[in-house]
Every structure is written in structure tokens, then in C-alpha cells.
Structure 1
Amino acid sequence: MTDNKIHIFDTTLRDGEQVPGCKLNTKEKVELALKLEELGVDIIEAGFPISSPGDFTSVNEISKIIKNASVCGLTRAVQKDIEVAAEALKYAVRPRIHTGIGTSDLHIKAKFNSTREDILRRAIQCVKWAKNFVDDVEFYAEDAGRTGNEYLARVVEAVIKAGATVVNIPDTTGYCLPHQYGEKIAYLVNNVPNIDKAIISCHCHNDLGLATANSIAGIINGARQIECTINGLGERAGNTSLEEVVMIIKQHKDMGFYTNINAKQLNPLSQLVAETMRMPVQCNKAIVGSNAFSHSSGIHQDGFLKDALTYEIINPAEVGAEESKIVLTARSGRSALAHRFQKLGYQFDRNDIDVLYQEFLLIADGKKEVMKEDLESLAKAHTKELAV
């Protein structure tokens, strides 16, 4: 795979919706799907059609309105699942069926009470069933992260031969270290004879906080699709965060990759997803958290005010965020205090700031953040003192 475009497969509406309390109705799914297409994602996994009548309707409605992105429906390696998904996707301009089965020995024995040979047969069969309905078939090898590489390569070769256009290598439990996941992708690139006939996809979970790192390791080693969600929502500890991988690729141009994502829409869409799915974004979340472009340490504030690049590698406007914030706390310094007074319209010299700073620290030690009204009170009291 020589093309360096990274296909962004968004599964906010499917895996992201599996977060307890984040259930979406059809109207909400349709609204978010339109925003995801506007964002520039390549594939929208709209749901799991056989799971409920509501999800079938959602996938069906989304398939009617999305014109540029592929619309994908998830299935198990079950003929009925695949037939229902095909029916739900019948209006899609670019339909994709995402089917597969667990391939790790743990899944084969504990989950399926089966054998490697039987799972291989079922993997081939589900792809052939899907291929009867759509040209674009993605196969997932569930728990690939804990699947032996040799057996995984056999499965991947067989499903590509059966017609799979994308092979998904999920780290379903978030178990892999980045070098392990990268080596797994590299093994497939080097040991599957027909791998050039399919795109390798990364679907990483965040149980150990490594989903983003593993996905990047995957593309460095030959994968060309990343499966991710807005705000990193997903089963258990979540999925790979769309905004993180997109901005890593954008920042590290030396890797040579690119996406079609309009980064300026990342923050607005993050907020919409948080509101719609009733799941607030943690304030220290990379790229889209409320503190992502906030500075409270005096050393950081001083450097930032001299040159933003000292402490910010991304301009907030680049990801559609509000301008950077200088937050005043007991850790803040004189330059930040002077800056905030200046923003409020006060022109104090260095001697004034030295005096005001001592008063400021008394307030700051007693509360989490010194607010605008506190500064106004300080400034007025100091101005009155000077006038006496």
C-alpha cells in the first residue's frame, strides 16, 4: 500500500454509542452523521442493523442522506446479520458491510467452543455472504491483538481471497504495546501474499491508554485506515480518539501521511457529540478539552506571552477552539497578571504590578481561580490609593 492517505473510519455512532447512557435515537444519529460527513470522514459506521429495529432504521436513514462518505453496517459472521445489514444499506451510495469473528485462541475456545480451522471457514464464509450484496467488504479479526501472528496471517490471506477489501486488525481489549501492535501490522504486510489487494485497518481500544499510540504505530507499519470516535468514546475505556490521530498526522508531517479531515470543525463537533450523547469531555482531554489551550503556571504563562510556540504546538483556531486562556491561580506570575489587567483596560507599570501582585497572591491562595471581578476590585482599590 503506497498511498499515504489515511482513511478515517468513524464509529462514534456504533462503538461510541455503546457507552452506557450514550444511546442515540434516529434523529440524533442522522444529525451527527451529516456533521461527520461535513468533517470529512471517509467511512461512517452507522450502527449494527440487526441489533434492534431502531438501529436498523438509523442505518437505513443515514444511508439515504450521506453522499460522499461510505456508510457501514456492522454484523457478526452470521448470514441473517449480513442480509439485514444489506437491506439497511440498500440506499447507500457507497455501502460497506463490516463482518468478522474472533480469532484469538481465547475467543475461539471460550467464546465459540470451536477450533482454528472452523473459525477460518466461518471467516471465509461471512465475507462471501457479504460480497453477494456489496463490493466493499471489511473483515474484522476480533481480538487480533492477542491472536498469534501466523494464524492471523492465514485468516487475513483467506478473507482477502474471498473478497474482503479491508482487513481490520482490532486490539479489542487494548492489550498491545505500540511496538507490539506495529510489529503485528508489519508481519501482515510482509507475510500475507495478497495484502496489496486490501487496506489494513487499525481498531484500537484504550483500556491501557494506548489506543492512539497503537493506531499511529499501525499506520507507520503499513495500515492505511484508522477506526476512531469523536472524543474517544467507546466500549469500556473508549476507542482511539479521532481528533488525536488527525492532529498527530497533521503535526508530524515528516511521517508523510494526510487525511481529508477539516480540523477547524473538530472542537465544534466534539461539543455537539458531548451534548447529544450526554457525555461531557474531560477538561484535560487532548485537542478538545476545555483546558487544552489554558495556561496557569507562571513559567508557562511567561513563555507563552513571549511566544505562543513555547508552550503550544497547535494554534487553537486550527482546531476550531476558542483563543488560548491565561488562567490566574496562586501559581501564576507577574507577567500573566499584567497581561490580564491590560486585557481589562488597565495600564499599570512594573511598580504597580509588584504591589498588585502581593494583593493578588492573598486572593489566589484562598480560591481555585482569580476571576475578572477579583481583578476589577484589585485594580479599583489600587487606583483609588494612587489618587489619594
Structure 2
Amino acid sequence: MRNIEKYSRGYFMPPVKSLKWTEKEYIEDAPAWCSVDLRDGNQALVVPMNLEEKREYFQLLLEVGFKEIEVGFPAASETEYAFLRTLIEQNLIPDDVTVQVLTQSREHIIRKTFESLRGVNNAVVHLYNSTSVAQREQVFQKTEQEIIDIAVTGAKLLKKYAAETEGNFQFQYSPESFTGTEMEFALEICNHVLNVWQPTPENKVIINLPATVSMSMPHVYASQIEYMSDHLNYRDNVILSVHPHNDRGTGVADAELGMLAGAQRVEGTLFGNGERTGNVDIVTLALNMYSHGVDPKLNFENIPDLLSKYEELTRMKVHERHPYGGELVFTAFSGSHQDAIAKGMKCREDRSRQYWSVPYLLIDPKDIGRQYEGDIIRINSQSGKGGIGYILMQNYGFDLPKEMRESFGYTVKNVSDRLHKELMPNEIHEIFINEYVNIHDPIEFINYRFTQNENYETNVSIKIDNEIHELIGTGNGRLDAISNVLQSTLGINYNHLVYKEHALEIGSQANAVSYVGFTALDGDVYWGCGIDADIMTSSVKALFSAINKMLSRVKPNFESGYSLLNK
């Protein structure tokens, strides 16, 4: 690509090695979660939420289980001011939930912020100012000391107005654009703020280190977090927080490695909504932890409903391949994937397994409200016999023999390829019924009778061209007797008869289903299926279905002893 020389690595490594986080294998405990959907997420919407929509979204966040929710920038917007006052005055904030508000380090903004918080039970007042080299030099044109003075002034004003305002307040400071700030300076300004607030075990403060713009690989961010964690004043009384954005597509990795490096709290949004490429996605983070057997302390047991509400209120669309929430993330179209999933699910049913280990499925879709039927395996021209057989089994109770699944799989794939579309379960079922079940042309089965001596003797009634014929023969079993009479009397030849049967329940009607397959003299294999209330009749219907499928390939000739084959 052109113009590569105009770019450089704009981040700063810590002045000392900070790599202890690399010794940890996984995140052992859930962080404190803070949703910033109603502030950071809302300001990034094409059409921000109105007051009623924000109330509804706030309730949604409570249902998920968030205990910290940033509700807005009340001094900057009358809608956000009114929203916060509504929450407080109508007692809509549960006693165990803390709301958070954002403020710049300017006295009139801080004053109005505390006015908006009058009477709140618990609130975090989030102070920020930008500290990066680019912001200092290009936007504010201030020295490092002047930037520190802005932060310190704001920290003092927070203490002043908190003391004068009814409510219970906790302080938070963010060196905005932390990732573009020299680490020594980021540490210095945070420690100046901490020295003003002087946190205690009973009154801890939050230092939030945002990847306002993600500028480095995730391991660099982790080292930056660890350096700050190791060198902050009052560290035992500081809750270290991260707020990653997703500019490089690494927001989740930044947060996860940041937690390994010492972060105790994460700010983010549902499904990653936010400025530019968005904030870190808390749904993904939480369910990543869940997949490792760690309780994320958030409830995502009904992702479909959550997704529907999210899209309604934000007017944003979650991509079909979005982790966990996307419509297609648990779906396999590939034949080999479908076969592995189907076998894994069958293995899980047959054996008692402590841990989830189904191929290609990181977690059990049902644990987050997704259904196996229509979610896991979907059928198109790339699908295989295992997946197609799984669809019939899960949705309609047909347990096809292995060899028949292959035959039916090609039939379905050919239909999908010809129509150039995905096939729904009802369409697959319709293809199966039309192609395999109770086929009665050109030979229609009417009835049978058996008598048993040394062998089974049978009298079979059939209809050909609207004319009924009675055929008589014997065999060592009932199906064998009927098979023999059809071959000997009608001149049909095949071998290697395969048979399977089981009970079938479709809706409230209980039936028996049988599958019959055989190999014709030319080596082609034909399958038929029979359904009937009587198990023997279902097997006979399956045999006739297979024979009729074979005859559909050969023009029958019913002259001279009923021979069906042209000599």
C-alpha cells in the first residue's frame, strides 16, 4: 500500500518491564462491570434514544444484572439531565445499583452535574481530561503541567460539591486517550488526582484507563495496565478499570489481557456499540468467561430476546456472525461440520459427560436461549448427509440408516443447488416425504395376507394401471416372502436388502416408520420409507417405495407375465 511512511507506532511502552500477566492462564473471577450503553453507546447512535427509550434500556440493563450503569453526561444535554432526574425522583434505581455520570474538569459543568444528582442513593462521578501527546499539542496546546492542573482542579471541585450535595458519591478519574500518553506522565497525573482524593478502604476511588483509541497490539495495552497497577498511589484503595475501544478489532483481547494485568473493572456496552468501531463488547467478554467455567455475574440466558430489544431501542443491527449473539454463530452449513456436530450431540445424549465438548460449538447454545432446531444446522448446497439427517431427526423424528442419509443428502443438496437457496426444515421434510415415503406409482400396494408353515406364505394384492393383481409366494420371513414374490413374479431383480424400523410420532399421531434399501443389478442403491400404524405394513410400504424409485429410472413394461423390464 502507498503512504506507509506517514504512519508510526503512536503508543508508549512502560519504562520498566511489565510482563507478570503473561504467567496467568485465564481470568479467574468476573470484574465489576459498568455498562456505558446509555452514555458512550447512546452518543454514537445515528438517532440517540429519547427519554422513554432510555428508561426502557436502563431496565434492560438491570435485567441483565449490571450493578454500575453510566447514564449520561447530564450537564451537556437536557435529555440526559431529565433522564437522570426521572430515575432518581421516581425511585427507578435499585438500592444495590450505582449510576455513573460523566463530567469534564470545568466548574460550571461539575456544579450542574451534582445538581442533577441531588438525592441519589449511590453514584460515581466520572471526571476526565485528555492527556495524550496529540491532544496536548494539537487540541489544547498546553504543557504537561497545565494538563495536570486541569485534572487536579477538577478533582478538588468534585470533593467540594460532593460535600455540599445530598447523596452517596464515589469518584472516578480517566486520563482520556491514555493509550497515546507517555506512561510516566499518565502515572504522574493519576497520582496527582489520587493525592487530592486520598482514598480509603471504606471510600475507594476508580482509576479508569481507556483505550480511547486502540493504538497497539493487546499485549502492549496489558503491559501498560500492569505498569500503572504496580505504581499507582493508594493502590489497595484504588479500583483499576479499563475502557477499551475496538479501532484495531482487538477490544475484547485488550480487555481480557488488561484483566490479567490487574484491571478489576471493565466499562463497555452490549454487543460493542460505541464511537467509530465501538466499545468493548461485554456480551462477548462475559460469555468468553462462561465458556471457561467462570460465572460472569451477568445474565445472558436469553440472547434472542436481549438482541431483539437491543436492536429495537438502538436501531442498530447486530451482524449475523457477531460472537454469541449473531444469528449464524452456532450454525453450520458445511457438511463435515454438520456431521461432527450431529455425532457430538448424539454422543452427549448417549453418554454422561461432565463437560461440554461438542465439536465446533464453544458453548451449549441452549444455555443462552438458542434452539438446536433451526439454529445449529442449516441446509444449503454445501451441507452433508449428517446435517440433513440431523434436521429430520430433531424436527420430525426420522432416524435414517447411515446409507440412506447419504442418498437423501445428495437429493437435498441437488434441490438447494438448483434453487440456489437455503432449505428450511419444513422444505427438507417435504422433499423426504415426496421422494421416499409411501410411493405407489407405478406399483401400488393394496394388502397382504400371511400363513406360516415351514416358511411364510403370502398373498399380496397390488394395483398396476388401475388393475388389481394377486401375487403368491414364500420366504423365510414376512418381508422376505413379499420381496421374493415381487422379484419372481414381476421380474424385478435386486439384492443386499437392508431394513430398519422404529416408532415415529409426528404431532399427536403415533406411527411406525420403516426404511428399506437394496442394490440393483447395475450397482445403484435405492431407498424407500414406509409409514403406517402397523409396523409390518410400514415395512412393506417401504419396500414398494424403494422398488418404485428404481422403476422411475426404467420405463416399465407390464406385458407378458407382468415383467417390468424390457427384455
- TM-score scaled by length of structure 1: 0.93
Give the alignment partner of residue 354 of structure 1, picking from 406, 424, 441.
406
Higher helix share: 1
Classify 1:129/1:320 alpha carbon distance in 2 versus 1 (closer, same or farther; 3 Å): farther
Give distance in 1, aligned partners of 2:52 and 2:241. Answer: 29
Identify the residue that residue 214 of structure 1 maps to in structure 2. Answer: 254
The residue number in structure 1 matching 2:330 is: 293
Q: Structure 1 residues 304, 355: closer, same or farther in 2, change over 3 A? A: closer
- The counterpart of 1:72, out of the listed 97, 100, 104, is 100
Q: Which moved more, 1:315-324 or 1:103-112?
A: 315-324
Q: Distance in 1 between matches of 2:425 and 2:156?
A: 65
Q: Which range moves more in the overlay, 132-141 or 95-104?
A: 132-141
Contact 2:333 2:378 in 1 (8 A): yes
Measure the CA separation in 1 of the matches of 2:149 and 2:290: 41
Equivalent-residue separation in structure 2 for 1:86 and 1:360 (angstroms)? 66
Q: How does 1:194-273 map to 2 (within 5 A)?
A: 194-253=234-293, 259-273=296-310
Partner SS state of residue 188, structure 1: helix
For 1:131 and 1:266, the matched residues in 2 are separated by: 41
Does 1:312 find its partner at 2:364?
no
Which range is displaced more, 105-114 or 346-355? 346-355
Q: CA separation in 2, counterparts of 1:43 and 1:327?
A: 39
- 2:420 pairs with 1:371: no
Which of 166, 176, 187 in structure 2 is aligned with 1:153? Answer: 187
**Which residue type is aligned with residue 127 of structure 2?**
T
1:178 aligns with 2:221: no
Distance (Å, rounded) in 1 between the aligned partners of 2:158 and 2:59: 26
Cα separation, partners in 2 of 1:267 and 1:117, compared to 1, 3 Å = farther
| Alpha carbons of structure 1 residues 76 and 258: separation in structure 2 relative to 1, 3 Å | farther
CA shift for structure 1 position 175: 1.5
Q: Which has the larger radius of gyration?
A: 2
Q: Where in structure 2 are there 5+ consecutive unaligned residues?
A: 1-27, 163-167, 200-204, 346-357, 440-527, 529-544, 549-567
Supply the distance in 1 between the matched residues of 2:104 and 2:370 (Cα, whole angstroms): 39
Q: In 2, are the aligned partners of 1:9 and 1:226 still within 8 Å (CA)?
A: yes
Q: Which moved more, 1:207-216 or 1:13-22?
A: 13-22
Hey, what does 1:282 align to over in structure 2? 319
Partner of 2:49: 24
- Residue 167 of structure 1: SS of its match in structure 2? strand
Check the 8 A contact 1:77/1:123 in 2, yes or no. Answer: yes
Give the AA of the match of 1:45: E
The alpha carbon displacement at 1:374 in A equals 3.0
| Cα displacement (A) at 1:4 | 4.8
| Alignment partners' CA distance in 2, 1:194 and 1:202 | 18
Give the root-mean-square deviation of aligned CA atoms. 2.0
Q: Say if 1:104 and 1:146, in contact at 8 Å, map to a contact too.
A: yes
**Residue 143 of structure 1: aligned partner:** 177
1:381 aligns with 2:381: no
Label 1:265 to 1:356 Cα distance change in 2 as closer, same or farther (>3 A). closer
The amino acid of 2:366's aligned partner reads: A
Q: CA deviation at 1:162?
A: 1.7
- Find the counterpart in structure 2 of residue 321 from structure 1: 370
Distance 1:348 1:252, change over 3 A: closer
- The whole-number CA distance in structure 2 between the counterparts of 1:91 and 1:320 is 39
Instruction: Report the more deviating stretch, 107-116 or 316-325.
Output: 316-325
Aligned twin of 1:119: 147
- CA shift in 2, pair 1:279/1:118, >3 Å: same
Cα gap change, 1:269/1:357 in structure 2, threshold over 3 Å: closer, same or farther? closer
d(CA) in 2 for partners of 1:312, 1:32: 30
3-state SS of the aligned residue for 2:301?
Answer: helix
Which of 125, 142, 150 matches 1:97? 125
The code of the aligned residue for 2:92 comes to I
Of 198, 213, 231, the residue aligned with 1:191 is 231
2-side partners of 1:96 and 1:51: how far apart?
Answer: 17
- Measured in 1, the distance between the counterparts of 2:153 and 2:302 equals 40
Provide the TM-score with structure 2 as the length reference: 0.64
Q: Which amino acid aligns with 1:291?
A: L
Distance 1:246 1:369 in 2: 32
Query: For the residues of structure 2 that align with 1:91 and 1:281, how far apart are their CA atoms?
Result: 37
Q: 1:153 offset after TM fit, Å?
A: 0.6
Q: What amino acid does structure 1 have at the position aligned with 2:52? A: K
- In 2, Cα distance between equivalents of 1:259 and 1:376: 40
The one of 179, 182, 196 equivalent to 1:162 is 196
> Is the Cα–Cα contact under 8 Å of residues 329 and 370 in structure 1 kept in the other structure?
yes
> Shift of residue 384 of structure 1?
4.8
Paired with 2:304 and 2:286, the residues of 1 have a C-alpha distance of: 13
Q: More strand by proportion, 1 or 2? A: 2
Structure 1 gap ranges (5+): none
Q: Contact 1:59/1:73 (CA < 8 Å) preserved in 2?
A: no
How far off its partner does 1:347 sit?
Answer: 4.7
2:438 & 2:367 partners in 1: Cα distance? 43
Distance in structure 1 (CA, Å) of the matches to 2:322 and 2:269: 14
Aligned position for 1:129: 157
Distance verdict in 2 for CA 1:379–1:30, change over 3 Å = same
Match of residue 81 from structure 2: 56
Cα deviation for residue 267 of structure 1 reads 4.3
How far off its partner does 1:52 sit? 1.6
Aligned length: 383
Partner Cα distance (1:266, 1:355) in 2: 37
- Contact 1:37–1:66 at 8 Å: present in 2 too? no
Query: Match of 1:280, as an amino acid?
Result: K
Change (3 A) 1:136 1:331: same
CA distance in 2: counterparts of 1:150 and 1:171, whole angstroms? 17
